[in-house]
Chain A
Amino acid sequence: MSSSRVVRLPRSGAALLWLLAALVAAGSLLPLVYLGVRAAGAPSAAWDSLLSARTGITLLRTLGLAAAVTLASLALALPLAWLTVATDLPLRRFWAVTTSLPLVIPSYIGAYLFVAALGPRGLLQQALEPRFGITRLPSIYGFPGALVVLTLFTYPYLLLLLRAALQQRDPALEAAARSLGLEPWAVFRRVTLPQLRPALVAGSLLVALYVLRDFGAVSLLRYDTLTRVIYVQYRSAFDRNSAALLALLLALVAGLVLGLERGAERRRYHRSGGQNSRWATRVRLGRWRWPALAFCAAVTLAGLVMPAAILAGWLLRGLAAGERLPEAGAALAGSFAGAGLAALATLLAALPLALIGARREGPAARWLLRLAWTGHALPGIVVALGLVFFGLRYVRPLYQSLPMLVAAYVILFLPLAVGALRAALQRVPPNLEEAARLLGRRPAGAFGAVTLPLIRPGLAAGLALVFLTAMKELPATLILSPIGFETLSMRVWSAVSEAFFARAALPALLLILLSSVPMALLGLREEAA
């Protein structure tokens, strides 16, 4: 494990890197500037409400939920990641895909399906009533329901990053620890876990911020968070200014949460060298493989099979009743194109920031990185309206065009890619690239030849995270997409809000199926690597 060192770039190269990073960070700052403009027009009543005890309590409830969901996600993601990467678990690749896919299910749909299944008079109760006479299950509304649903549909953020980090870990260290007589558990705790720290931190932040800005799950499950209060201002009071003031508070809270990152990330662990695959041994599970399989199956059942089965039930019921289904080709193409472009563009935009975040220290680097999280910390509607504000003023010809939609996706999802890339880059010792430079490679060439192959798992994780999250994005897509552009999640939302259940089920199932293809491909790539 080497200490952190800084790769020296020629002045012009370093300046370019900083310039690019600053440009990207400035872009993600736009929604915040917009909020400032709007909040300045907020009535005094909005300030009173902002500073009231009630807002304080809502804030505490919000933070409590975020903390609980993050811990619960860790409890699911860490064992899943370890089992699917580092052990001889049967069907590893299959479980890796099925446990990542819940990320693509929009939380409002997930919550709706959850209530349909496990609500006081849901499908489970209906199944139990004839046999056991149970007429009502305990209520799942409020904190428990919100905790379960948000955990089920956000833990893959952590899982994907942790899997990448595990694939990139230095197996030589574990081999050394084993040869020195450490038990497997001690190897994991003392050698493997510390190497996962950047991924743990980045993934936990992604989960926590998702909870802060989620609207769908908390409204269906009746748990009041700050984002619900913001939506009431938009949807009921039609008051953009008061909403902006509250959203600024949310951004502030998110900033404080991000501040936790600093405390968690002091030491860095690089791997010792290139591909030490000859050291890589998989932990033999032995008879533990049965509980391990049961665990993977249970998570898959709850996060994927149950939602998909209910959707399939809606579809069959509707077809039997003679429902007409809309043609979904355009929405399918739109989803794939939008999410694919979002993934590529976001990864490109994230690279300079991730490089600076992984290799530079000091306040400038820290603040650049923190600013890049802004878009992800705010509800989608806020980011979308901010881009309407700036788009019409400064880049009018691009307003509601595909480039603008992709720009919105970049602002919204930048931290997903920065998190994945940065965690991967931190694991690459800078001296490797320096060696390539000494041997005559130009900076870009050295990066491409040495670093890029080493961070491949991180690249794949970043692509997957952005792709899956963009597939389900709704508010910005509705407002900023080119007119006539359709996505599957638009179709699902439109149909389910008007009780067209069969029509909602088809695009929702397609959303899951379509996402599983790139996930499976990325998974296979990892294995082949």
Chain B
Amino acid sequence: MRVLRVGSRAGLLLGLILLTSLTACDGPADDAGQTVRAPAEASAEAAAPGDAEADAEPDPVADPEAATNPEAEPDPVADPEAAFGDPNFRAEPGHLVVYSGRSQDLVGPIIEQFESDTGIEVDLRWGDTAELAATLLEEGDASPADVFLAQDPGGLGAVESLLAPLPSALLERVDARFRDADGRWIGLSGRARVIVYNTDRVQPADLPARLEGFTEPEWKDRVGWAPGNTSFQTMVTAMRVMQGEAAARSWVEGMVANGALPYDNNTAVVAAVGAGEVDAGLVNHYYLYRFLAEQGETFPARNHFMPGGGPGSLVLVAGAGILKTAARPETAEQLLAYLLSSPAQTYFATQTYEYPLASEAAAVTPAGLPPLAELEAPGMALSDLADLPGSAALLREAGALP
């Protein structure tokens, strides 16, 4: 019966591991499982709220609402149960529950900062924006989530029937282009559509002035794109809205006929451009800066911001909405207000290379990028570009998607 002995020993081991994990994960609020802040962070990004001198002290620069509210609310920190955690890992009654379609590596630090500035504990579920949107739709009224943070307006649009209207004080902090016309979601940070090109093989002057240029023979088999990516699809939607269905369809068909190489996502496109597998790619701007950070300035790719206000110069957002069924709507609003506050907007500019969108911080520009105001972006509102299913259908029919 050796096997049984092995089994019980394994069981014991597992029990131990489980116990350790229980203590390790009793909430994202604790230090466990989160990014370790090395002292190095303090150096380059002095303005970022990430380097927490603030500790439990409310940040004076932060939104006044965010700074004062913890006293008014029944404080979750005072809840004795919160200190022990729940053996089932369930969301604590007092905690704000956030479904985040944005990566932990991008928004984890600023949410931790929110926790330490306000004393509000946030429980996070990380995932893919579209898959979390499907989960929210499946959960319906029973969803435990208070806030949905999404990569793109498409994900927010998919669940807009579940979202509550946001207070106008919040909405007005962001340009009308970057929020829902009915006020159910709001953009938190901006990302521009760009052409990423290989600096060894292409001069910026050789790049076409319009997206249509990539359907010319000289670009045959030289361009990478990510037709399954929702940012790309929103750009196609913009093309449909601005130039009509027929023009958009003929562009997609032209790209396919010209041998545009499909990649799974923006990261893969930038990697392929850097390697010289393709000479140029259609992506969002901020991926490149991660490559430069890890592989150095010699990484042979740079961004080109298309002029001319066409769909190729669209500025997109990552944004958030509050669920109608949120258990703590005021706390949820506090989080969104915090994410639009100057320190958080500066965090996006310096740490994730995205454009701040809140009016008081919009002047801050990520290092080395043209200011948002100088981008020749189309003037249309993103909520006019909600028809992602229509673009997905077009891409399927044109053979760009399976």
A456-B3 in contact given A329-B32, A478-B127 (Cβ < 8 Å): yes
Q: Choose among A119, A322, A498 the residue that contacts B275 (Cβ–Cβ < 8 A).
A: A119
Q: Is there a chain B Cβ closer than 8 Å to A381's Cβ?
A: yes
Interface-located stretch among B83-91, B170-178, B364-372: B83-91
Complex CA–CA separation, A456 to B132 (angstroms): 41
Chain A residues whose CB sits within 8 angstroms of the CB of B10 once the complex forms: 340, 344
Q: Is there a chain A Cβ closer than 8 Å to B6's Cβ?
A: yes
Closest beta carbon of chain A to B199's beta carbon, Å: 14
Q: Is there a chain A Cβ closer than 8 Å to B139's Cβ?
A: yes
Q: Is there a chain A Cβ closer than 8 Å to B228's Cβ?
A: yes
Complex CA–CA separation, A78 to B309 (angstroms): 60
A238-B276 in contact given A484-B33, A485-B25, A495-B103 (Cβ < 8 Å): no
Chain B residues whose CB sits within 8 angstroms of the CB of A120 once the complex forms: 277
Q: Is there a chain B Cβ closer than 8 Å to A494's Cβ?
A: yes
Nearest A-chain residue to B143, judged by Cβ: A392
B106 & A498 in contact (Cβ 8 Å cutoff):
yes
The contact string, 1 if C-beta is below 8 Å from chain B, for chain A 493-520, is: 0111111111100000000000000000
Q: Is there a chain B Cβ closer than 8 Å to A388's Cβ?
A: yes
The contact string, 1 if C-beta is below 8 Å from chain A, for chain B 2-17, is: 1110100011011001
Chain A residues whose CB sits within 8 angstroms of the CB of B40 once the complex forms: 322, 324
Q: Is there a chain A Cβ closer than 8 Å to B294's Cβ?
A: yes
Q: Is there a chain A Cβ closer than 8 Å to B118's Cβ?
A: no
Nearest A-chain residue to B123, judged by Cβ: A483
A479 & B105 in contact (Cβ 8 Å cutoff):
no
B395 & A321 in contact (Cβ 8 Å cutoff):
no
Interface-located stretch among B248-256, B334-342, B386-394: B386-394
Q: Which of B92-146 contact A (CB under 8 A)?
A: 97, 103-106, 123-128, 130-135, 137-140, 142, 144
Nearest A-chain residue to B287, judged by Cβ: A499
Q: Which of A117-146 contact B (CB under 8 A)?
A: 119-122, 141
Closest beta carbon of chain B to A487's beta carbon, Å: 10
Chain A residues whose CB sits within 8 angstroms of the CB of B6 once the complex forms: 525
Q: Is there a chain A Cβ closer than 8 Å to B264's Cβ?
A: yes
Interface-located stretch among A177-185, A216-224, A365-373, A414-422: A216-224
Complex CA–CA separation, A120 to B278 (angstroms): 10
A324-B41 in contact given A235-B228, A401-B89, A499-B270 (Cβ < 8 Å): yes
Chain B residues whose CB sits within 8 angstroms of the CB of A452 once the complex forms: 1, 3-4
Q: Which of A443-486 contact B (CB under 8 A)?
A: 448-449, 452-453, 456, 459, 475, 478-479, 481-486
Q: How many residues of B contact A (CB 8 A)?
A: 89
Most buried by B among A122, A225, A448, A499: A499
Q: Choose among B20, B155, B233 the residue that contacts A333 (Cβ–Cβ < 8 A).
A: B20
Chain B residues whose CB sits within 8 angstroms of the CB of A499 once the complex forms: 267, 270-271, 287, 290-291, 294
Closest beta carbon of chain A to B394's beta carbon, Å: 11
A392 & B105 in contact (Cβ 8 Å cutoff):
no
Closest beta carbon of chain A to B127's beta carbon, Å: 4
Q: Is there a chain A Cβ closer than 8 Å to B359's Cβ?
A: no
A324 & B35 in contact (Cβ 8 Å cutoff):
yes
Q: Is there a chain B Cβ closer than 8 Å to A229's Cβ?
A: yes
The contact string, 1 if C-beta is below 8 Å from chain B, for chain A 216-246, is: 0001101011001101101111111000000
Nearest B-chain residue to A38, judged by Cβ: B138
Chain B residues whose CB sits within 8 angstroms of the CB of A222 once the complex forms: 262
B25 & A484 in contact (Cβ 8 Å cutoff):
yes
Complex CA–CA separation, A28 to B154 (angstroms): 32
Most buried by A among B21, B125, B128, B265: B21
A336-B17 in contact given A238-B158, A326-B34, A484-B26 (Cβ < 8 Å): yes
Closest beta carbon of chain A to B74's beta carbon, Å: 21
Q: Is there a chain A Cβ closer than 8 Å to B402's Cβ?
A: yes
Complex CA–CA separation, A231 to B263 (angstroms): 15
Complex CA–CA separation, A502 to B275 (angstroms): 18
Q: Is there a chain A Cβ closer than 8 Å to B230's Cβ?
A: yes
The contact string, 1 if C-beta is below 8 Å from chain B, for chain A 89-101, is: 0000000000000
Closest beta carbon of chain A to B320's beta carbon, Å: 17
Complex CA–CA separation, A327 to B28 (angstroms): 13
Complex CA–CA separation, A239 to B276 (angstroms): 36
A484 & B27 in contact (Cβ 8 Å cutoff):
yes
Closest 4 CB pairs of A and B: A482-B89, A330-B33, A333-B21, A224-B402
Ordered by A's residue number, 8 sampled pairs between the chains whose C-beta atoms are within 8 Å are A219-B264, A234-B130, A330-B25, A341-B18, A384-B135, A484-B28, A495-B103, A499-B267
Given contacts A324-B37, A500-B103, 12 further A-B contacts (CB under 8 A): A121-B276, A222-B262, A232-B396, A238-B154, A333-B24, A482-B89, A482-B90, A484-B89, A490-B126, A491-B104, A495-B103, A501-B294
